[in-house]
């Protein structure tokens, strides 16, 4: 099986191949649609281990070695790579390709004999440019499969020669089924040689129902579930945003401020004795009648609303603490005091003689 995972190639000026993930199985033809000749050729070279990807992997079976992939694969008819040049003869083309076959698989016969025994006698003496597309592709496939170590065949843009898929698709299916590259001694009883065949095309043929893929199909993968969805599936909840937490704290503080005194704890006047003792220990004036220091602590006390401490006299003895101000009288008592201050009938001004008589009586 041929498999690629996020196969990605970056060129000098632009991306040659977006991330692509495909799988191909032996005995099947996989068609991969790719836009542009550069992209198709880059994909063909990467699938056969002849171009190092910028990222991603490609493996043939369990072996991910690029050297093993090159040894077990072949690329066919790639423009500007190994596509036959039109000025060559068929004999010269066969000579060049057979010379590239590894020595242990190389056929000892001469190119002319090889062409005759493989059924290409009618092509002797012809130029490459004279051949029909289907005939030329058949010749190239047979020359590539002269290497018996090949398991993967990648054909680059077979549809560029003809819009009729019937000129190249049956040949790819025949190669995948293992009916090519069997040698001149092959008979009906010869076991087939199934192959992995990949065709990189500019457009998928109409009515094609076999395996297919599109170059760049892994460029925008499906997003994984978000952390919030995962947390909900686990039964946990995500913490609230920071601004929501601040607002919640403000609301709680407002609710606490509106609670009447004594609900959540004792009022100021109902403090326990231990708390009162601690307050007296902090305030020396309340314990021994002496005034505290009038420094920073006194200033703080003044800011808190406490009466200022009396300064010490000239002899160094601290002055007695000022008497606390009398509490304000209720409204009714103030009214009664005002009415009592008004002069009544008995409050008549006395004469001087009466005053002198009163003074004599006192003596």
Would you say domain 2-214 falls under CATH 3.30.750.210?
A: no
Q: What is the mean pLDDT of the chain?
A: 76
pLDDT of residue 102: 87
**Structure confidence at residue 69 (pLDDT):** 96
Write the pLDDT tens digit of every residue in 86-119. Answer: 999 999 999 999 999 888 777 777 899 999 999 9
Q: Which of 82, 2, 12, 79 is nearest to 47 (CA)?
A: 2
Distance (Å, whole) CA 236 – CA 229? 10
Determine contact, residues 39/79, Cβ cutoff 8 Å. no
pLDDT of residue 9 exceeding 60, the answer is yes
- Asked if residue 83 lies in contact with residue 126, where contact means CB atoms within 8 angstroms, the answer is no
pTM of the model: 0.61
Whether the per-residue pLDDT at 31 is higher than 90: the answer is yes
Report the distance separating Cα 24 and Cα 176, nearest Å. Answer: 11
Please say if the pLDDT value at position 30 is more than 70. yes
The burial class, CB within 10 Å (0-12 / 13-18 / 19+), for 6 is: middle
The pLDDT assigned to 63 comes to 87
Q: Residue 122 corresponds to which tokens in the numbers above?
A: 């009618």
- Of 30-34, 190-194, 247-251, least confident by mean pLDDT is 247-251
**Structural domain boundaries of the chain?**
2-214
* pLDDT of 296 strictly over 80: no
Rg (CA), the chain: 53
Which tokens hold the place of 314? 């000239």
Phi (first) and psi of residue 359, to 5 degrees: -65, -40
Tell me what pLDDT residue 3 has.
Answer: 95
Residue appearing with tokens 């002849």: 50
What DSSP state is assigned to residue 94?
H
């Amino acid at each position: 099986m041929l498999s690629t995972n996020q196969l990605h190639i970056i060129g000098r000026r632009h991306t040659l191949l977006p991330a692509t993930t495909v799988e191909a199985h032996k005995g099947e033809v996989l068609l991969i649609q790719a836009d542009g000749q550069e992209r198709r050729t880059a994909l063909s070279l990467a699938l056969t281990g002849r171009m190092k990807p910028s990222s991603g992997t490609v493996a043939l079976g369990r072996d991910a070695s690029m050297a093993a992939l090159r040894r077990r694969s072949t690329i066919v008819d790639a423009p500007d790579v190994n596509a036959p040049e039109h000025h060559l003869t068929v004999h010269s083309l066969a000579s060049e390709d057979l010379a590239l076959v590894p020595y242990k698989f190389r056929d000892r016969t001469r190119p002319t004999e090889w062409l005759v025994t493989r059924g290409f006698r009618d092509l002797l003496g012809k130029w490459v440019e004279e051949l029909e597309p289907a005939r030329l592709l058949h010749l190239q496939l047979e020359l590539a499969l002269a290497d018996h170590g090949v398991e993967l065949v990648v054909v680059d843009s077979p549809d560029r020669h003809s819009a009729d898929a019937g000129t190249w698709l049956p040949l790819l299916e025949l190669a995948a089924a293992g009916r090519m590259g069997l040698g001149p001694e092959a008979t009906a009883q010869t076991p087939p040689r199934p192959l992995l065949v990949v065709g990189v095309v500019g457009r998928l043929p109409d009515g094609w129902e076999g395996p297919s893929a599109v170059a760049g199909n892994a460029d925008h993968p499906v997003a994984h579930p978000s952390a919030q969805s995962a947390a909900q599936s686990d039964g946990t909840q995500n913490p609230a945003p920071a601004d929501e937490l601040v607002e919640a704290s403000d609301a709680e503080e407002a609710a606490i401020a509106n609670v009447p005194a004594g609900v959540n704890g004792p009022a100021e006047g109902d403090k326990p004795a231990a708390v009162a003792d601690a307050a007296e220990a902090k305030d020396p004036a309340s314990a021994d009648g002496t005034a505290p220091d009038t420094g920073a602590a006194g200033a703080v006390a003044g800011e808190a609303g406490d009466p200022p401490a009396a300064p010490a006299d000239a002899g160094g003895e601290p002055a007695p603490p000022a008497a606390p101000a009398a509490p304000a009288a209720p409204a009714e008592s103030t009214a009664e005091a005002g009415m009592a201050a008004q002069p009544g009938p008995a409050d008549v001004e006395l004469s001087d003689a009466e005053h002198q008589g009163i003074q004599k009586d006192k003596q």
